[in-house]
Amino acid sequence: MTVIQVFHYEQRMSVTLQCPGYPEDTLRSLADRLPCRETQLKSLLSLMGQPDQYSYPSFFIYGHRATGKSHVVLSVMKDLELPHASVDCVECVSSGLLFHQVLSAFFGPDAAALLPRCPSLSDFVRLYKQMSSNSPATQTRYIILDRAERMRDMDFSLLPALLRLQELVNDNVTVILLSEIVWEKFRPNTGCFEPLLFHFPDYSKVELVQILSWDHHPSYTPELYASYINILLGVFFSVCRDLRELRHLAALNFSKFCEPLEKGEAKESDIHKLWKNIEPHLQRAMQTVYLREVSSVQWEQQQMDEKEATTLRVLSAHAHIELPYYSKFLLIAAYLASFNPARTDRRFFLKSHGKIRKTNFLKKHEKTSNHLLGPKPFPLDRLMAIFYSVVDSRVAPTASIFSQISSLVTLQLLSQVGHDDQLDSPKYKCSVSLDFILAISRTVGFDVVKYLYDFL
Amino acid sequence: MHETFRNIWAQMDQLNKKVLDSLAEFIKKHGLGCSSDVWRQRASEIPTAALMLGVNVPDHAMTFRSLCNLLQDSVTPFVASVHAKECAAVKLLIQKVLEQLMGRGVSVDEEQEDDTALLQRTQCTISALCQWYKTVTKKCTQVSPQRKENLTNSDLPQSLPVVVIFKDFEAFNSQVLQDFILICSRYTQELPFIFIFGIATSPSAIQHRLPHSVSSLLCIEVFHSLSCTQHLASVFDKLILKSQFPFKLSSRVIQVLVSVFLYHDFSVQNFVKGLQFSMLEHFNSQPLSVLCCQKQEALLSAKTLSKQNVERIRHLPSFMRYVETQEPQEQVQLLTNDEHVKVTLLFHNRCSGKTGLQRAQKSPCYNSLYLLALATGCGSLSTRLLTLTITNLHPLQKSEIRYLLEKESRRTKRTNPFEVLRSEVMEFIDSLVREYLTPAELQPLNEVCYYSSSGVLRQRLNATPRTSIQAALSHPFYYLQNESLKTDTGTISSAAPDLCIVFKLHLECGRLINLYDWLEAYVTVMSAAEDQHTDSEECGKFDSLKHARFIQAVSEMEFLGFVKSTKQKTDHVARLTWGGC
């Protein structure tokens, strides 16, 4: 019950936001809509200053996924009706798209159409200046760049230029960068204008309860829903703090939670009974639907008809792959070539190899487990040599054998290393796990462990 | 003849229908589900179908084609399918999707054409697609009254889903996929996307490619298509074991075809191509194949058989064997009287028709046995075997069973009661088969219907480029058939083409070949022949010609991929084949 008390207390408190230049009742409703982000909201507003004043040229807001960065910023923009351009950097496959979106948000699509075919930064600045001289900003214009970490992959001059865009275009414009990673990872080598850093901390458990309790079901009391959220967090909090995920899970499992109530087996106050009912169910959800082994629709269907629970197969259950006979051996040969040092081939694949002791045979660095080091590249010739010695019948080097290698590459069971020159003895790596290769070799009756240097 | 084949093949397309139908159902459901209450809550999840198709990627093309057609006919006009090869970057992927979607819309109503012509690369975004989609769907709902009837069921306007098919999921760059999914998930409210992943390996490939943050945006359901072995089994059922299909394969040929399938590619398409090839080969090489057709036609053509063909029949080993078993008087008749041969032919034709019928009845049991041979784990073996109607076995099965038996005896060392029982049953069946069925090879005139030259087939289907190139270069006589090229093994004749001489000389070298030494050796070989008729007076003049020929030969070697220039040593080339041994 303590949580609920806290919840009530905070609601009553209802932070009084006052910022000159903005209508007070909008601010109040804004604060109500953004629970647990009052302090962030307050400092953001004070940083922005009054709408007609020049604001700081650039902010950098960072925090984990689903900590309300874009939500807070965008609701501020929308509710206070500030001119803004919101751009998701994932979408901007070229910087031209970014310019296009910004210009069309501020000056309409006609302005954006003036951009040349592959606009450069200076084109953008020129056009912006031209447009803003026609319609100078009465309020601060905001450019919000979501997932700003993608900007680092774009033109190297773009980020430093955007950070001081205000200077460049001589207009009341502020760039807000939103990112999940810290500013230190952005800073270019040549140095740049430092934006104001602003952190959104993770929600605490109490805050999560408070936020999740917001979307309670209309036909049940908020108290019941809050206790349900408490149970849910008890299971999931250790693995997942992503608010979006948690909301999704809460919505998915609530009907199951209410089942005893519907059937009349329990009353709302009977928390313990409800807990007993839902707890194993949630555990199962954590192993399946949370990992997306089972789609949410399937999960809901499963709740409807409990009997078919056993027939539902999860994604990773179909792990085995059917391959042609020789492809299996090629894969095994590739695995052996990847995880055995080339010097040991003689020991494994020659009939009269003599005894070679593991300890004094190899150099020091080869003594560490090859499985810890990961697969090593090997040339095609070595693969074929091992293949011919592992496969139990005589195989002609037909074209289809070689084409199987390339189809293994397309299936990403092998990966080609280095350049694409097929003539120059191509090199490959085997990219499957030990378990996988064990399963494959079992189907062809081949004891792969006997040939692995690590297990000698 | 060919028509029969066509007809039967047309039926094969129906096989995947069941899976495709369930997929279409899935898409319809999600298309409609947009309006439901639950759906809106997690609207950012994109419904995704993971379609498991088996490892042979080229075989998938047909499935996707029919899936596309099915979707366009019955569900939604908005279908785009993309190949990994075309989509190395997100930009290209989006461009491809847009081209296909909007291009298709254009073909429906002509007015849009101008807009797409103006579509610049900069506007090639999903938001542009979004705009386009809105205008198109608005038109659609205005135009088609039957869709409006649907609208009465739900409050919100029903939207047609936009289906994007990723044909080869494994080959996609995972970064590209992630970005594309992230972008699309931003627009799910306006654009009802549905993805279809064509997966060759296993569904866990999705989890390997995509991080949790991205896969949590998908709502994945798995669909399995027929496994390739089942697919092949139905090909067997419908093509090879049908009495309407007079062309037969001998057990050897079937073994070749099946082993190509099992050992190499798992490709039903290739199997059918092999079948087609053997058919072609049969009708091409065997003149008596005029008799290999439906019974009625066969009777007709038997009546009008030419003298030459009757003579050919007499030379058939199976016919000779048959003649030997007859009475002496009959033997004389068969060997001299053409008409008599024809009459016996007619009689035999009737017989073979009958056996064909029997065969058709047997097909299911053949099939199950065949599947057994395919199955690596023989868990349900005994139960299946006991259900067989044993006396009806086809001669071909004998070899299959023996194959199974051999395989079993080789693999299992330990014996438990089950295995003992199993091998007993096997032996029992084997003896029964031996007792009651005569192999097709022993029946007279089997050559007419049975294609048996497995050697030719193997040679044609299992191409060995490396060995044939090597044979051509080391024994030019093999291909050129020029008497002067005949040489003993080990010697290098100067009459051979330059390339062959250079190739043979390079075999004697190590991993790095000194070009000058090579040239010297080449000149020696060439001049060894000339010394016999001319003295070495014009040596210098010949040298430049030889030099040029040598350089040309070496560049041909480089072109064939035997050598390449190397930076390790100047004046050297590196050998690329046979590991430099």
Q: What pLDDT digit, counting tens, does each position of B503-513 carry?
A: 888 888 888 88
**Residue among A325, A411, A443 whose CB faces B200 most closely:** A411
Contact A68, A30 (CB under 8 A): no
What are the structural domains of chain A?
47-199 (3.40.50.300), 205-316 (no CATH), 325-348+372-451 (1.10.10)
DSSP B227: P
Instruction: Please report the DSSP string for A100-131 in residue order.
Output: HHHHHHHH-HHHHHTS-SS--HHHHHHHHHHH
Please give the pLDDT value at position A26.
Answer: 85
Query: Quick count: other Cβ atoms within 10 Å of Cβ B108?
Result: 12
**In chain B, % of residues over pLDDT 90:** 1
Integer Cα distance of B114 and A98 in angstroms: 25
CA nearest to B209, candidates B237, B249, B149, B168: B168
**Proportion of chain A above pLDDT 90, given as a percent:** 8
Q: Report the interhelical angle of B338-374 vs B328-336 (nearest 10°).
A: 100
Residue of A nearest to B206 (CA): A315
pLDDT greater at residue B352 or residue A165: A165
At A88, give phi and psi (nearest 5°): -95, 120
Q: DSSP for A287-329?
A: HTTTTTSS-HHHHHHHHH-GGGGGT---GGG-------HHHHH
Cβ contacts of B22 within 8 Å, gap of 6 or more: B223
Q: Is the pLDDT of residue A29 over 60?
A: yes
Chain mean position to CA A393: 47
Q: For residue B440, which of B317, B360, B513, B355 has the smallest C-alpha distance?
A: B355
Out of A54-68, A138-152, B323-337, B529-543, least confident range: B529-543
Q: How far is CA B256 from the centre of its chain?
A: 14
CA distance B390 to B405: 16
Q: Determine phi and psi for B302, rounding to 5 degrees.
A: -65, -40
Give the model's pLDDT for residue B103.
73
Q: Residue B86, class by beta-carbon neighbours within 10 Å (0-12 exposed, 13-18 middle, 19+ buried)?
A: exposed
Considering A142-156, B409-423, B428-442, the range whose residues carry the highest mean pLDDT is A142-156
Tell me if B9 sits within 8 A of B235, measured CB to CB: no
Name which of B55, B204, B215 is nearest A322 (Cβ-Cβ): B55
pLDDT at B515 over 80: yes
Percentage of chain B exceeding pLDDT 70? 65
Cβ pair A410:B57 closer than 8 A:
yes
A171-180, A186-195, B396-405: least confidently modelled range: B396-405
In chain B, residues 164-203 whose CB comes closer than 8 Å to chain A: 168, 170-171, 179, 182-183, 186, 200-203
Q: Is B90 on the interface with A (CB under 8 A)?
A: yes
- Of the listed ranges A7-11, A207-211, A250-254, A299-303, the one predicted with least confidence: A7-11
Confidence (pLDDT) at A311: 46
Q: Is a pLDDT exceeding 70 seen at residue B347?
A: no
pLDDT band at B394 (very low <50, low <70, confident <90, very high): very low
Residue B68: which residues within 8 A CB-CB, separation 6 or more? B79, B81, B165
pLDDT level of residue B368 (50, 70, 90 thresholds):
very low
CA distance B442 to chain A (A): 30
Question: What is the pLDDT, as a whole number, of residue B316?
Answer: 79
pLDDT at B353: 41
Q: What is the pLDDT of residue B426?
A: 73
Considering just the CA atoms, what is the radius of gyration of chain B in Å? Answer: 33
How far apart (Å, rounded) are the C-alpha atoms in residues A200 and A65? 10
**pLDDT value, residue B351:** 45
Judged by CB atoms closer than 8 Å, whether chains meet at A115 and B122 is answered as yes
3-state SS, residue A57: coil
At A144 the pLDDT is: 93
Q: Which of A93, A324, A403 sits opposite B262 (nearest CB)?
A: A324
Q: In what order do the strands lie in the sheet with B563-565?
A: B512-514, B572-575, B563-565
Say which range, A71-75, A237-241, B87-91, B531-535, has the weakest mean pLDDT. B531-535
Residue B204 has pLDDT above 90, yes or no: no
pLDDT in the model for residue A61: 92
Please tell me the least confidently modeled range out of A449-453, B95-99, B385-389.
B385-389
Is the pLDDT at B528 greater than 80? The verdict is no
Inter-residue contact B36 to B155 (CB < 8 Å) = no
Count Cβ neighbours within 10 Å for each residue of A57-82 and write b for 16 or more, e otherwise. Answer: bbbbbbbeebbbbbebbebbbebbeb
ipTM value, please give it.
Answer: 0.85
pLDDT of B349 strictly over 90: no
Residues 503-562 of B with CB under 8 A from A: 561
pLDDT at A143: 92
What's the pLDDT band for A356 if we cut at 50, 70, 90? low
Per-residue pLDDT, averaged over B180-200, amounts to 85
Q: Which residues of A touch B260 (CB under 8 A)?
A: 400
Strands A84-88 and A141-146: parallel
Both tokens of B364, joined, read 């299911």
| Alpha-carbon distance A328 to nearest alpha carbon in chain B (angstroms) | 9
Tell me if chain A has a CB within 8 Å of the CB of B54: yes
Mean pLDDT of chain B: 70
Cα Rg of chain A, angstroms: 31
B448 residue type, one letter: V
Contacts of A117 in chain B (CB under 8 A): 120-122
Task: Count other C-beta atoms under 10 Å from residue B415's C-beta.
Answer: 10
- More confident: A391 or B539: A391
Cα B384 to the center of its chain, rounded Å: 29
Does A322 contact B266 at a Cβ distance shorter than 8 Å? yes
Which of B263, B406, B411 to probe the A interface (max A CBs under 10 A)?
B263
Instruction: State the pLDDT confidence band at B387, using cuts at 50, 70 and 90.
Output: very low
Which of B45, B170, B186 has the CB atom closest to A410's CB atom? Answer: B170
Q: What is the pLDDT of residues B39-76, one digit of tens each?
A: 444 556 788 888 888 777 777 887 788 788 878 887 77
Q: pLDDT band for A332, please (50, 70, 90 cuts).
A: very high
CA gap B562, A423 in Å, rounded = 9
Task: Give residue B110's pLDDT band: very low, low, confident or very high (50, 70, 90).
Answer: very low
pLDDT at B42: 52
Per-residue pLDDT tens over the stretch B11-47:
555 555 555 666 666 666 655 444 343 444 455 678 8
Report d(CA A145, CA B486) in Å as an integer: 77
On the question of pLDDT at B114 being above 60, the answer is no
Closest Cβ–Cβ partner in A313, A403, A411 for B170? A411
User: How far does the CA of residue B39 sit from the closest CA of chain A (Å)?
Assistant: 9
> How would you classify the pairing of strands A414-417 and A427-430?
antiparallel
Cα–Cα distance measured from residue B148 to residue B142, given in angstroms and rounded to the nearest whole number: 8
* Residue A130 near residue A163 (C-beta atoms within 8 A): no
Report whether A56 contacts A174 (CB < 8 A). Answer: yes
What mean pLDDT is predicted for residues B436-458? 74
Residue with the larger pLDDT of the pair B436 and A415: A415
Strand blocks (E) in B77-192: 79-82, 162-166
Round to whole Å and give the CA distance between B418 and B444: 42
**Greater pLDDT, B396 or B499:** B499
- pLDDT level of residue A333 (50, 70, 90 thresholds): very high
Would you call B216 an interface residue with chain A, using a CB distance cutoff of 8 Å? Answer: yes
Judge: A297–B123 Cβ closer than 8 Å, yes or no.
no
Cα distance from N-terminal residue to C-terminal residue, chain A:
60
- Can you tell me the mean pLDDT for B106-129? 53
What confidence tier does A266 reach under pLDDT thresholds 50, 70, 90? Answer: confident
Give me the numbers of helices (H) and strands (E) for chain A, helices first please: 21, 8
The DSSP output letter for A136 is -
Residue B523, pLDDT > 70, answer: yes
User: Which distant-in-sequence residues (6+ apart) come within 8 Å of A171 by Cβ?
Assistant: A128, A129, A132, A136, A137, A141
Q: A147 — alpha (psi -120 to 50), left (phi > 0) or beta?
A: left
Contact B147, B158 (CB under 8 A): yes
Owner of token pair 């012509």: B117
Residue A346 is inside which H or E element, if any?
Answer: helix A345-349
- pLDDT, residue A177, reads 92
All domains of chain B in start order, with CATH: 1-102+159-226 (3.40.50.300), 227-365+444-463 (no CATH), 465-575 (1.10.10)
- From the centroid of its chain, how far is CA A250? 20
User: Which of B41, B115, B202 is the best residue to mutate to test the A interface, defined by the most A CB atoms within 10 Å of its own CB?
Assistant: B202
Average pLDDT, chain A: 81
Single-letter code of the amino acid located at A385:
A
Tell me which of A219-228, A404-413, B280-289 is least confident: B280-289
Q: Is the pLDDT of residue B496 over 50?
A: yes
Average pLDDT over residues A410-421: 80
Q: Residue B527: pLDDT above 50?
A: yes
A379 CA to chain B: closest CA distance, Å?
A: 10
Per-residue pLDDT reduced to its tens digit, B286-304:
777 777 766 677 777 777 7
Cross-chain residue pair B264–A326, CB shorter than 8 Å: yes
Pick the most confident of A233-237, A260-264, A343-347, B420-424: A233-237
Tens-digit pLDDT profile for residues A429-447: 998 888 889 988 888 888 8
For residues A448 and B164, what is the distance between their CA atoms, to the nearest angstrom? 41
Q: Which 3-state string (H, E, C) describes B482-501? A: CHHHCCCCCCCCCCCCHHHH
Identify all chain A residues contacting B170, using CB atoms and an 8 Å cutoff: 410-412
- Residues written for chain A: 456
Scanning the structure block, which residue is given the tokens 């997966």?
A: B199
Longest dimension (CA), chain A: 90
- Max alpha carbon distance in chain B (Å)? 104
On the question of pLDDT at B423 being above 50, the answer is yes
Q: Which secondary structure element, helix H or strand E, spans residue A142, and what is its range?
A: strand A141-146
pTM higher than 0.80: no
A163 Cβ contact list (under 8 Å, min separation 6): A57, A58, A175, A192, A193, A194, A195
